Amino acid sequence: MSSSPYSPANVPKKTFLQSNPVLANFAYSWFAVQVAEIATLPVDVCKVRLQLEGELGAARRYNHIGDALVKISRQEGIGALWKGLGAALWRQAVYGTTRYGSYEPIKKSLGVDGKGESPLWKKILAGCISGGGSSFIANPFDMVKIRLQADTATDPSLRRHNGVYGALKDIIKSEGVLKLWRGATPTVSRAAVGGMSELSVYDEIKQQIIKREIIKGGGLPLHLTCALSAGFFSCFCMNPFDVAKSRIMNQKLGRNGVLQYNGMFDCFFKSVKAEGITSLWKGFFASYARIGPRVVIIFLIIEQLRERFD
């Protein structure tokens, strides 16, 4: 007698990732953040330059993101738009992978109901833990990325650092290994706020849309709506911390041997005093021009991988 098509003998064996959902979350996240980082890095370079623009009353070089794209390409070459790519990919391998990969396990560890749902406060807490923790670990690569992106020198001999490993070596040699975590306070604060606002908002909007049947059938329209909304909200919340992070990580010792900023709040105070409250949202449109597509790419890839392999 032939076996039933639903008999155990004919049930496809689960793949290694299917049998390890936590590992699958990290694998999907790693692939998604690497693709998103490569695709959006030119905008990130412009964002960093715009955040450092007119710092404490200094002369401005770029008027807006389009102007920055054109001037950087003309003055430094098209490859300059991918400055810091190595550091960016290393950062995402640690930060992005852990941030997106650990969110679901952390949320489930906080407790979910019989339908696998959890209240908003648990989603916010899970996003805060996954974002802040992963950002602290990845801080050295974040610091190197910003310094490489901020360097406008076209002559390699005049550059502040020469590549990822060269920058790490220079910083450790001249400033000490602990200085690799300079700017960790605004970096972790930014990531915690970003995780709270992006991951939880995406999760909550998706849950509510499905429950209320606002978008029927799910798929691309659902994921796109949730990603764009989460990206905008998180970008607005993170921008002040992002500005402080860029400025603190890029600062140099002054002639008197003293740094420009003594921590995140000092950076906030000095920036607002010299440039106004809007300075905390410098580079916002450049940030969203990166974060919006980046969030869309990441969540679409993760969702598609889950549908295909889970």
Alpha-carbon gap, residue 67 to 167, rounded angstroms: 28
Answer whether residue 25 is part of any domain. Answer: yes
Answer whether residue 235 is part of any domain. Answer: yes
Range of the domain at 173: 20-309
Q: Using the CB atoms, write b or e for 195-211: b if 16+ within 10 Å.
A: bbbbbbbbbbbbbebee
Q: Give how many domains the chain has, as a whole number.
A: 1
Residue 272 maps to which CATH number? 1.50.40.10
Answer whether residue 179 is part of any domain. Answer: yes
Answer whether residue 3 is part of any domain. Answer: no
Alpha-carbon gap, residue 63 to 77, rounded angstroms: 19
Answer whether residue 183 is part of any domain. Answer: yes
Q: Which of 243, 237, 245 is nearest to 274 (CA)?
A: 243
Angle at CA of residue 144, ends 63 and 183, nearest 5°: 80
CA dihedral 192, 195, 196, 200 (to 10 degrees): -170
Alpha-carbon gap, residue 48 to 108, rounded angstroms: 35
Give pLDDT, residue 176: 92
CA dihedral 103, 106, 109, 110 (to 10 degrees): -90
Answer whether residue 8 is part of any domain. Answer: no
Alpha-carbon gap, residue 263 to 82, rounded angstroms: 29
Alpha-carbon gap, residue 278 to 56, rounded angstroms: 13
Answer whether residue 10 is part of any domain. Answer: no
Give pLDDT, residue 90: 93
Average pLDDT for the chain: 86
Q: Which two tokens stand for residue 273?
A: 């005093």
Number of C-beta neighbours around residue 84 at 10 A: 27
The residues, any chain, with a CB within 8 Å of residue 154's CB and separated by 6 or more, are 75, 76, 77
Give pLDDT, residue 162: 87
Give pLDDT, residue 103: 92
Q: Per-residue confidence of the chain (310 residues) as pLDDT tens digits?
A: 344 333 344 444 454 455 577 888 899 999 999 999 999 999 989 988 888 877 777 778 888 889 999 999 999 999 999 998 999 999 999 999 999 999 999 999 998 877 778 899 999 999 999 999 999 999 999 999 999 998 888 787 788 888 899 999 999 998 899 989 998 998 899 899 999 999 999 999 998 998 888 887 778 889 899 999 999 999 999 999 999 988 998 887 777 778 889 889 999 999 999 999 999 999 898 888 888 899 899 999 998 898 888 7
Answer whether residue 11 is part of any domain. Answer: no
Alpha-carbon gap, residue 310 to 304, rounded angstroms: 10
- What value does the CA radius of gyration of the chain take, rounded to a whole number of Å? 21
Give pLDDT, residue 3: 40
